[in-house]
Amino acid sequence: MGLQEYVIKRILVTIILIWAIATVNFLIFNMLPGTTISKYVAKLASGGMGSERIEQLRHAFGLDRPIHERYLVYLKNMVTFNFGYSHEFGDVKAAIMRALPNTLILMGISEIASIIIGILLGVITAYKRGTILDSGIVTGSLLTYSVPVFWLGWIIVNIFALHLKWFPSGGYIPGVWAVNPPENIITLIWGRLWCTVLPAFTLFIFLVGGWILLTRASVLETITEDYVVTARAKGLKTRTILYKHVLKNASLPLITNIAMTMGFLITGAVITETVFSYGGMGSLIFTAISFSDIPMIQAVFFVIAILVVTANFIADLLYGIIDPRIRYG
């Protein structure tokens, strides 16, 4: 099977998988006891919401129709990203779009930095295996990867925010903006980045150790192969051997992990965002779960599932490009 046929096949499988996920999402929030949309609307009615508004919600969620029609309405809403109305957040799509940029900034900076530095250090520790450098980096990685992230965030807040007062202890914009928002785009970007430093640094320290350990383990499996000995015999530089040959052949587990990481990128970091009062997707999801906000939970579940499936689809394509030993089939 050639690349074109493989891509078409994977696209069809991905579409079917997304449909299956959407169906499961519908069954969970419409059929299971305690989590149904109808009970959510009933709870709002008991809270004093007007009857006209209640009827609008019932119609929007298809509660005034048979189950099969509700299913078709649900599929149409999910495909068009019409996620409906939330009593806690208002328009669900608008609430997600407000929180999403903050999460992409935070998670993008921390994840990309941890992936790049973790892979580079992982290759070095594998090459220097058995040395003091290797032992020190591995021990440090195990330590940072094992400590609770809320404790790590608390320590960082105490040092850099409360004692040194270099950065704000929370929020995603400077507090003075509530009174006098900036008009300069440079000031706007700088202010957001300034508030993002501490939560991003916390996530970086927490995540980088895992990438170091994963890269080290992957590289150790390939660094003793015959082609590495041949490359050394040809007089290639150590850096070229490590990063052009060894890392390339050891990259499949890394690609899989990166794909999963990118898929869950918009979920945010619930604990870290809570510690730093950072208004991202993590805080949004935590609030939705706390208040049993079914429309928001349903929408987030669907969006995350799509991103994970898409990320794995991209990873499958990259496998054959990076490693020619893989045949499409």
pLDDT at 37: 65
| Cβ atoms 35, 28 nearer than 8 A | yes
Sign of the CA dihedral with 259 first, then 261, 262, and 264 last: positive
Cβ-contact 220, 129 below 8 angstroms? yes
**Gap between the Cα atoms of 7 and 24, Å rounded:** 25
Buried b / exposed e along 83-103 (16+ C-beta atoms within 10 A): bbbbbebeebbebbebbbebb
CA dist., res. 149 & res. 285, Å (int): 18
Instruction: Indicate the DSSP class of residue 242.
Output: I
pLDDT for 227 = 75
How is residue 289 written in tokens?
Answer: 């779960």
List the one residue out of 283, 97, 104, 105 whose CA is nearest residue 196: 105
List the structure tokens of 110: 């921390």
Q: From residue 77, give the alpha-carbon distance in Å to each of 82, 92, 110, 227, 266.
A: 5, 12, 33, 54, 20
Backbone angles phi, psi at 326, to 5 degrees: -80, 130
The span from the CA of 120 to the CA of 124, in Å, is: 7
State the pLDDT at residue 191: 74
In this prediction, residue 266 carries a pLDDT of 66
Helix boundaries (H) for 223-280 = 226-233, 238-240, 247-249, 252-263, 270-275
Instruction: Give the residue from 252, 255, 253, 236 showing the smallest Cα distance to 244.
Output: 236
Which pLDDT does position 180 carry in this prediction? 66
Between the CA atoms of 317, 320, 322 and 323, what dihedral angle is there, to the nearest 10 degrees?
150
Both tokens assigned to 52: 């006209």
Question: What's residue 46's pLDDT?
Answer: 62
Report pLDDT for 50. Answer: 62
The model's pTM is 0.76
- Are residues 270 and 282 in contact, defined by beta-carbon separation less than 8 angstroms? yes
Domains in the chain (CATH in brackets) are 3-90 (no CATH), 96-322 (1.10.3720.10)
> Where are the extended beta strands (E) located within 35-170?
85-86, 90-91
Average pLDDT across each block of 10 residues of the chain; the chain has 329 residues. List them in order.
72 87 81 63 62 67 72 82 77 83 83 89 85 88 84 86 81 64 72 82 88 86 77 77 77 79 68 80 81 80 82 75 59
Judged by DSSP in three states, 193 sits in helix
